[in-house]
A and B are shown apart, each in its own frame.
Chain A
Amino acid sequence: MSMTLTPPVIGNAFATAPNTPRRMPLSREQYSLLGNAGMLPERCELIDGEIIEKLSQSPDHTQSMRRVERVMRRLFGEEFVYSQTPLVLGAHDEPEPDVFVTTLPEATFLQRQPTASDSCLSIEVSVSTLDFDTGRKASRYALAGVADYWVVDVESRRLLVFRDPAGGAYPAPLEFDETQIVSSLAAPLAAISVVDLLP
């Protein structure tokens, strides 16, 4: 009977193929089941089938969000502006945008949640999440066909505007610095100073 060989130690560098195991994409149904059972983190959203936990909100994020909210309420009316509440983008996506604007009165949403087609503008305030908000999250908004998706880039004091989604992606965003004025697709005649969205 042969004996165990003296093992050559070569570390863990065996693998050569891309990851084969795939994370199960969570559906909105599963997400809400977990939510009703109290198994979700306190602040989170469902993005591309993954539960993304929002760990902390910095003071400048809060202030920027409040300013965005105030501007949008003035522009679109109290009733149409939501802040950090669920927006249904698809079977595997239910973000809670910092601010979004609906096209329908709030009575519509007593029985159901607003969806991408009920919304004319979604805005995320980015403090330390710019890559995520302009990358993976933007692609989910694009897939859902959201016509106007804005990212307030607090660190660089600018606004990124994503429009014209095609084939599940937005073209490169329009960039506006804090000296500039922008208007939304839903209210093209109403000028918004970018600086009013920044903390």
Chain B
Amino acid sequence: MSITLTPAISRKHFTRPEYHFLADNGFLRDARYELLGGDILVQMPQKEPHGSLVMAIVFLFARLFGEEFIRCQMPVVLSNDGEPEPDVVVTSSSRSVYQTGGIPTSADVRLVLEVFVSTLPYDVGEKAEKYAQSGVAEYWVVDVESRRLLVFRAPSPTGYAVTAVFTDADAVSPLAAPLVAIPVGDLLP
């Protein structure tokens, strides 16, 4: 259901402290949530082949980047009103840093990857914009249905300046590892 709010009315946007306050008080336990653009979003239950594919990419990335730099469906701090839990994140520091230093922020993120098994949702562009606004260097969307990889680069406050589509015949080098070419087919089932 979408509504158009008139200027006299607006939906309250949640901040990270408020989001964590709800969690600390025993809410947000009945499902998985993420905070994006001030909205607390309910995450869909995990399904297959999404889960297996995410894990395959986690292990592939662990080999390429080192396992201590990979996070899977863990929170990333984008801003004061954004704390999503992307499928895969490649960080610039190793795990031990976050163990004591807290949740990685967008500045710690070298690559965010998300897998969509069925048709891409309308908010793919919106989500990309949020990652871009917080300065996430590179965002990949694995589009299983169309067997392609969407690559977003050059973040700016208005979105990613570079968006590109690669097919399963292509190979793509992430900015975080420019000498490595990852066959797009390796990211697909």
Contacts and interface: CB of A to CB of B under 8 A. Distances in A.
A17 B118 contact: yes
Contacts of B42: 21-24
A132 B3 contact: yes
Interface residues on B, range: 35 or more
B141 interface: yes
Nearest to B27: A30
B5 A132 contact: yes
Interface stretch (A52-60, A73-81, A84-92): A52-60
A20 B12 contact: no
Given A24-B33, A52-B10, A131-B6, A34 B18 contact: yes
Interface in A1-40: 1-5, 7-24, 26, 30, 33-34, 37, 39-40
A39 B14 CA distance: 9
Given A15-B120, A18-B121, A19-B123, A129 B171 contact: no
B152 to A, nearest CB: 9
Nearest to B164: A7
B7 interface: yes
A1 B5 CA distance: 52
A168 interface: no
Contacts of A8: 164-165
Contacts of A21: 36, 41-44, 121, 123
Contacts of B164: 5, 7-10
Contacts of B181: 1-4
Given A11-B163, A21-B121, A24-B42, A52 B12 contact: yes
A34 B22 contact: yes
- Of A3, A4, A52, most B-chain CB atoms within 10 Å: A4
Interface residues on A, range: 35 or more
Given A34-B21, A53-B11, A15 B6 contact: no
B22 A33 contact: yes
Given A15-B122, A18-B121, A21-B123, A5 B172 contact: yes
> Is chain A's interface secondary structure helix, strand, loop, or mixed overall?
loop
Interface in B45-67: none
Interface in B117-131: 118-125, 128-129
A51 interface: yes
Nearest to A20: B121
B40 interface: yes
A21 to B, nearest CB: 4
Given A2-B171, A5-B172, A12-B163, A51 B12 contact: yes
B150 interface: yes
B143 interface: yes
B159 interface: yes
A22 B44 CA distance: 9
Interface of A: 1-5, 7-24, 26, 30, 33-34, 37, 39-41, 44, 50-56, 127-132, 135-136
The 5 closest A-B pairs by CB, nearest first: A7-B164, A12-B125, A51-B12, A17-B119, A21-B41
